[in-house]
Amino acid sequence: MSQRLDQAQRYHTAIREIFLRNWDPIGIADIPEAQDEYDSYISQVYGLLIRREPLYKMVDFLWWVETEHMGLCGTHRRTEQVAERLLRLPEEIVGLV
């Protein structure tokens, strides 16, 4: 497996884990059949990370997903905390290489 593909897979796994454990706006983390519920948002987050976009863009994306796309109320502080956590992934992922 190429290093790039391996790195992309580690990002995918890490983003999914953060979505399920830290974000989880619809509360499906403990439902085995729903573990892929947020996967459609992973590529957008991955793109934000590899482009090194600023915090506000990550917050804006997550907030849009939660409040506009999903139609939920959202908790802005939690969204910011999740965005901050996601933005730490590049140093964690690259540190594993």
Q: Does the model's pTM come out above 0.85?
A: yes
The structural domain count of the chain equals 1
Provide the domain limits for residue 74: 3-96
Alpha-carbon distance values, 70 to 11, 20, 64 (Å):
23, 15, 8
Distance CA 46, CA 30 (A): 24
What is the average per-residue pLDDT within 79-94?
95
Query: How do residues 29-71 score in pLDDT, each as one tens digit?
Result: 999 999 999 999 999 999 999 999 999 999 999 999 999 999 9
Among residues 53, 81, 76, the alpha carbon closest in space to that of 66 is found at 76
pLDDT the model gives residue 76: 94
